[in-house]
């Protein structure tokens, strides 16, 4: 396994873990499968893993607790969470526990592999002191952060596009919800907070001292970064 990118796959359902492990193996990654949270924590804590793909519904120790313990121990290992529920609260809690990105089951294999590659390119808690350019291609619905293409879900792209368009200005929560989720949006504001959390992680931003997406309390959000749009 020397020199290979090492991925720990924490998933207790063989119907998911076995085909996923084969697919990741075909991508050239060395895979170690953990069928419970305790084993996942042990493998991820050894220090030689490059990525943890973590199911939230694990036996012995759930995925959220695995995530929290790794972060509490100072690990900056990239973590991609798998959640069986599209429940926004479940996802928000996972991100708050320290996950870097999430995929909701049932997921498309191509999407999971793309997000895996994006996290591996970014590496542990990557942030930039030089302020790389965010580049958006609206028609192609593609976005880059520096030289890295961002893997964005549809609403994540729409949210980033709106913030970039209004760069330097405060965009109200109401305006965001109406423009991104539609004039008759039914989602709670937690949905917006969840997407902001995801974008911050993908930009290597720190919510406690953000360089790119600033929360303007009681109003909304402001995007501050060099941008190019086309």
Helix axis angle, 109-122 relative to 14-26, nearest 10°?
A: 60
Where residue 57 sits, what CATH number does that domain have?
Answer: 3.40.50.2300
Same domain, 104 and 195: no
Contact 192, 158 (CB under 8 A): no
Same domain, 16 and 117: yes
**Domain boundaries, position 212:** 134-229
Same domain, 154 and 116: no
Rounded Cα–Cα distance for residues 74 and 137 (Å): 36
CA distances 66 to 36, 100, 216, Å, are 10, 14, 32
Number of domains within the chain: 2
In a domain, 1, yes or no: no
- Looking at 89, 122, 155, the residue that finishes a domain is 122
Same domain, 188 and 113: no
Same domain, 10 and 110: yes
Same domain, 97 and 55: yes
Q: Which long-range contacts (CB under 8 A, 24 or more apart) does 61-68 make?
A: 61/36, 61/37, 62/37, 63/10, 63/37, 63/94, 64/93, 64/94, 64/97, 65/37, 66/10, 66/37, 66/40, 66/41, 67/94, 67/97, 67/98, 67/99, 68/97, 68/98
Same domain, 92 and 16: yes
Same domain, 116 and 10: yes
Q: Is the peptide bond before 73 cis (omega within 30 degrees of 0)?
A: no
Average pLDDT per run of 10 along the chain, which is 230 residues long? 77 88 88 90 86 87 86 84 66 67 80 82 48 73 80 85 83 85 64 83 72 81 66
Quick one: pLDDT at residue 129? 40
Contact 202, 121 (CB under 8 A): no
∠ Cα 179 182 184 (to 5°):
130
In a domain, 129, yes or no: no
Same domain, 13 and 59: yes
Same domain, 147 and 62: no
In a domain, 20, yes or no: yes
Quick one: pLDDT at residue 39? 92
Predicted model pTM = 0.57
Q: Which of 129, 99, 130, 131 lies closest to 115 in space, CA to CA?
A: 99
In a domain, 155, yes or no: yes
Burial readout 208-219 (b: 16 or more C-beta within 10 A, e: otherwise): eebbbbeeeeee
In a domain, 127, yes or no: no
């Amino acid at each position: 396994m020397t020199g290979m990118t090492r991925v720990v796959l924490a998933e207790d359902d063989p119907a998911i873990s076995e085909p996923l492990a084969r697919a990741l193996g075909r991508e050239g990654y060395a895979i170690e499968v953990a069928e419970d949270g305790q084993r996942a924590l042990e493998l991820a804590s050894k220090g030689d893993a490059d990525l943890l793909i973590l199911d939230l519904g694990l036996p012995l120790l759930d995925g959220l607790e695995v995530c929290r313990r790794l972060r509490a121990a100072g690990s900056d290992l990239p973590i991609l969470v798998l959640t069986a529920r599209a429940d926004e609260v479940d996802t928000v809690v996972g991100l708050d526990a320290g996950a870097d990105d999430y995929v909701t089951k049932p997921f498309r294999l191509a999407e999971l592999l793309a997000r895996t590659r994006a996290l591996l390119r970014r590496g542990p808690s990557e942030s930039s002191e030089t302020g790389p350019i965010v580049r958006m291609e609206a028609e192609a619905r593609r976005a880059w952060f520096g030289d890295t293409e961002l893997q964005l879900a549809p609403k994540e792209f729409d949210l980033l596009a709106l913030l970039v368009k209004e760069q330097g200005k405060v965009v109200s929560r109401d305006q965001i919800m109406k423009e991104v989720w539609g004039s008759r949006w039914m989602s709670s504001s937690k949905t917006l907070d969840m997407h902001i959390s995801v974008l911050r992680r993908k930009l290597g931003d720190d919510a406690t001292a953000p360089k790119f997406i600033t929360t303007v309390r009681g109003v909304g959000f402001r995007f501050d970064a060099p941008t190019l749009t086309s």
